[in-house]
Amino acid sequence: MDIRPAENNQTNDAFCDSNLVESIISGLDQPYNNKTIPTLVLYNNRGLQLFDQITYLPEYYLTNAEIDILQYKSHEILANIPDGSAVIELGAGALRKTSLILKALEEHRRNITYYALDLDLQELERSLSSLGTFDNVKLVGLLGTYDDGVEWLSTKFDKTTPKTIMWLGSSVGNLDREEAGQFIGRIQEQCMVEGDNFFIGIDQRNDPQKIALAYNEPAGITREFIMNGLDHINEMLEQPFIDRNNFEYISEYRQDEGRHVAHYKAVRDCVLKYRPSNGAVTQITVVKDEMIYVETSYKYSPSEMDTLVGTAGLASIGRWTDSDKQYSMLMAEKRPFHFARGLDLKREQDRAEFPGVPSEHAWNELWKSWDLVTQTVLTRDMMFERPIALRHFFIFYIGHIPAFLDIQLARTLKEAYTEPTEYVDIFERGIDPDMEDPSICNPHSEVPVNPEDWPKLDDIIEYSHRVRHRLHSLMQDCATGKRHMTKRLGRIIWLTHEHEAMHLETLLYMLVQSPNIHSPSGVKATSWDKHSTTTLSNAPLHSVHAGSVVVGHDDIERLDDQQTLTPGNEYGWDNENPKRQVAVASFKIQSRPVTNGEYYTYLKESDLLDKIPCSWLRSEDGQLMVKTVFGPCPLAAAADWPVSVSGHQAEAYAASKGMRLPTEHELIHFREQYQHHKDVKAPNIGFSNWHPTNVDNNTTHLLGDVWEWTSTVWDTHDGFETSIVYPGYSADFFDGKHNVVLGGSWATLPIMAERRSFRNWYQRAYPYVFAGFRCAV
């Protein structure tokens, strides 16, 4: 099937596009050592044949590594490809590896349609015919470029057809890390629906000599593959434009950048003359020893793989490595919602119409997540459960979120509350009683005692829709200039957004305590790896030298009426203001949080197995399990997850090891010193996974999975000013019983977890928060 635009489908390959010719000439017509040639020129008919030969070379380990994974892990991989799927491969090539997947699908009698996208018709037909025939798998060839494939994919399938898009051979490495995330992200946005998969092969940051040899083997086939690109340019231009005898292949692996780079190096001065069919001749001078870039192959660490998937707006659901642990294959899925993080979040914030104010897109993603949790994880028959006695019935929080938003908007705009106005009295503020004396409690709304006295759930949901519409209309008015986005109004929109995000997480604290919890709809349930319980050895201690650390940021709420929104504006809660500098003495700290396995060993050795944390449960047969949104997970499968405990439990563990909890400022100082460390675990935040993930002793864990307890008591500080719009937010809890927790859990939105000034707190005795700890000395 030829999927190229009509003007380009007159030949048997995808290289007739005039834009490609223009890219070649413009890329070469550049200053000394800035010249480039599009990588695409390497993959004509002969180039594809040469590359196929390369994949059989022992030095080119990537192909055999993929084959190893597909031979031994295919049953796990295929579990993610349902019957009736469309499987689309980008840059299919010789299909030697793909044949293993298709044969396995045939053996499992999956009715699949496989689409192979490639650049050359002759090679595409040869590759597909080499597969033979199948009873259950239908084969279709697609002639075109990646861009043609994306355009075709975006309109081909309806939402009922499950799709798995494959990109094998570490082709992702031909793009830089940012471009790769953006390209996969474009496919995610334009071509995928909830539940669709993206299956990708990625080479790892292996031994530099091994990588160098893979791209410049003694047989010289890779060299010929690269040099053939120059011959192909002459074929495309239909003239002797560039003589390969004037160049040599230069192969270089840059370890610090984690990428191999291929160049043409001029062996003598030469002049390239391009004579178009009409127009002036373009003359390009190339100087001896000048380098012309043609191809890059980026290698990835595990954390860089996680970042790639997250940047693309996908969630990793499986990663498999070959027997030699040198290559990875990842399965990622499109989830019902996605929160930007890292560079993506920064770009989103930089181009925001109103600096620091959550966009309508950000609100919509938050509402998707709230609705998913409150309508599928929480169900109607659970509304009057109270799995944490220190909290209200679930139904309170369904009404609290819209009521809080409406109250803040109405007060700021000096307008009426949304009907029914009596909801303001019921749902304004929840409870957080003193655990030692529950009669001591923060100011809160008076709520009905009996279920029959509460408003009807459907009425509350309709109320929520009206409040959301109110915010939507307000933001539309600000976008069109009908209403002015003041600094204070922006603060209210920001504050209510983060307030809802916090409640999304704390609602999950309650839900995992309920025996009636349901798995989230549209999110593939995790298959627990039931390995034996083997505790990690002690976490490495990182030394942190003495120094000063800047904490907080400047965001003076009382000046809102005197200021306007300016680029770089960053809102924060009252406890984040002002920016201040504090001294930190030298100390040592564990590279990662304490795990479930380590905590189990501690309880067992201390004869405390009758005092398991509230994040665990004991099944009817006596097996220890970890509570998750997917139901109980065997402790053996969660042994390397960070444990969630109370502050008191964290302190007791640390003391038993002759250690202590770090202070707030120590933890900040540690993160700043190690944030650019080469082996840092990608943060598991913002629902990248719906549970904590494994930590290990080979990577440094800085953020995510769980919040982290500190020894710092929650209290006022120099320059602290109580919030005007939410006066009790921080000050109501300056009672000496709360401690600072930092970072964020898997359920914390990146807008908070990645803001370095953000602080959270809980009562030290509170055992339900998704919070762990690490030890310091």
Produce one character per residue of 314-324: b if its CB has 16 or more CB atoms within 10 Å, e if not. Answer: bbbbbebbbee
Identify the pLDDT of residue 655. 98
For the chain, give the mean pLDDT.
94
Q: Say if residues 741 and 749 touch (Cβ distance below 8 Å).
A: no
CA 716 to mean position of chain CA atoms = 35
pLDDT tens-digit profile of 264-293? 999 999 999 999 988 889 999 999 999 999
> What are the start-end ranges of the H helices in 252-325?
302-311
Q: What integer is the mean pLDDT of 746-768?
A: 98
* Conformation bin of residue 481: beta by default, left when phi > 0, alpha when psi is -120 to 50: left
pLDDT tens-digit profile of 239-263? 999 999 999 999 999 999 999 999 9
CA 738 to mean position of chain CA atoms = 31
Identify the pLDDT of residue 531. 54
Give the C-alpha separation, 79 to 105, whole Å.
10
> What are the start-end ranges of the H helices in 269-378?
302-311, 342-350, 360-372
Identify the pLDDT of residue 529. 64
Identify the pLDDT of residue 185. 94
What confidence category does residue 343 fall into, taking pLDDT thresholds of 50, 70 and 90? confident
- In the chain, the N- to C-terminal Cα span, in Å, equals 65
Identify the pLDDT of residue 443. 83
Identify the pLDDT of residue 649. 99
Give the C-alpha separation, 322 to 70, whole Å.
9
Identify the pLDDT of residue 11. 60
What confidence category does residue 754 fall into, taking pLDDT thresholds of 50, 70 and 90? very high
**HEC-encoded secondary structure of 422-436:** CHHHHHCCCCCCCCC
Give the C-alpha separation, 669 to 674, whole Å.
9
Q: What percent of the chain has pLDDT over 90?
A: 82
Q: Which residue, chain included where needed, has tokens 């030692």? A: 436
Q: Which residue, chain included where needed, has tokens 């800085």? A: 702
Spell out the residues 6+ positions from residue 623 whose beta carbon is closer than 8 angstroms to its own. 634, 635
List, in order of start, the domains of the chain with CATH numbers: 14-37+211-298 (no CATH), 46-206+300-334 (3.40.50.150), 343-511 (1.20.120.450), 541-772 (3.90.1580.10)
Identify the pLDDT of residue 310. 85
pLDDT above 60 for 390:
yes
Give the C-alpha separation, 743 to 676, whole Å.
17
What confidence category does residue 524 fall into, taking pLDDT thresholds of 50, 70 and 90? confident
Give the C-alpha separation, 611 to 540, whole Å.
27
Identify the pLDDT of residue 408. 98
> What are the start-end ranges of the H helices in 312-444?
342-350, 360-372, 394-413, 423-427
pLDDT tens-digit profile of 693-716? 999 999 999 999 999 999 999 999
Identify the pLDDT of residue 396. 97
pLDDT above 70 for 427:
yes
Spell out the residues 6+ positions from residue 155 whose beta carbon is closer than 8 angstroms to its own. none
pLDDT tens-digit profile of 639-690? 999 999 999 999 999 999 999 999 999 999 999 999 988 789 989 999 999 9
Give the C-alpha separation, 343 to 421, whole Å.
42
Give the C-alpha separation, 327 to 305, whole Å.
11
Identify the pLDDT of residue 477. 98
Q: What integer is the mean pLDDT of 761-776?
A: 98
What confidence category does residue 426 fall into, taking pLDDT thresholds of 50, 70 and 90? very high
What confidence category does residue 15 fall into, taking pLDDT thresholds of 50, 70 and 90? low
pLDDT above 90 for 458:
yes
pLDDT tens-digit profile of 124-155? 998 899 888 899 999 999 999 999 999 999 99
DSSP string, 50-79: HHHHHTTSTT-HHHHHHHHHHHHSHHHHHT
Query: 435 or 380: which carries more pLDDT confidence?
Result: 380
Determine phi and psi for 581, rounding to 5 degrees.
Answer: -110, 135
Work out the number of other CB atoms within 10 angstroms of the CB of residue 223. 18
Give the C-alpha separation, 471 to 519, whole Å.
30
Identify the pLDDT of residue 539. 97
pLDDT tens-digit profile of 569-613? 999 999 999 999 999 999 999 999 999 999 999 999 999 999 999
pLDDT tens-digit profile of 202-212? 999 999 999 99
The three-state secondary structure class of 132 is: coil
Identify the pLDDT of residue 429. 86
What confidence category does residue 17 fall into, taking pLDDT thresholds of 50, 70 and 90? low
Q: What integer is the mean pLDDT of 182-197?
A: 95
